[in-house]
Amino acid sequence: GAVVSQHPSWVICKSGTSVKIECRSLDFQATTMFWYRQFPKQSLMLMATSNEGSKATYEQGVEKDKFLINHASLTLSTLTVTSAHPEDSSFYICSARLAGGWDTGELFFGEGSRLTVL
């Protein structure tokens, strides 16, 4: 149980285009999803916290107009990288927390999406 799926796993795009990454909780409802960015050989950097039905909360230094997050349902959150540039190339990982119950903070992670901007 508690499976999170991301799509696409790999995406290559031209500079200036926008890319959408989907994050789905397949067998549970997730009121809260988190989007992380990971540079090579580094830890995960939290970009934003996405709550279903409300605006995402962005971490300091993350451009909300560049990284658009939508969490329209309890099973789907999307991250759109707008007007992508080569410096946006990275590994993006989403995670979700089970809705309700005793919250220990455990997160379930998607497989990650590797974005390469040419």
Which residue in 95, 81, 83, 2 sits closest to 45, CA to CA?
A: 95
Token pair in block for residue 38 = 């990971």
Decide whether 34 or 67 has the Cβ nearer to another protein. 34
What does the chain come to in residues? 118
Q: Which of residues 68-107 bind another protein (CB under 8 A)?
A: 91, 93, 95, 97, 103-107
* Residue 51: CB atoms within 10 Å: 15
Gap between the Cα atoms of 79 and 94, Å rounded: 9
Q: Which of residues 33-62 bind another protein (CB under 8 A)?
A: 34, 41-44, 46, 49, 51, 57
Token pair in block for residue 45 = 């950097």
Taking CB under 8 A as the rule, does residue 28 contact another protein?
no
The distance of closest approach from Cβ of residue 90 to another protein in the complex, given in angstroms and rounded to an integer, is 12
Q: Applying CB under 8 A, which residues contact another protein?
A: 4, 6, 32, 34, 41-44, 46, 49, 51, 57, 91, 93, 95, 97, 103-112, 114
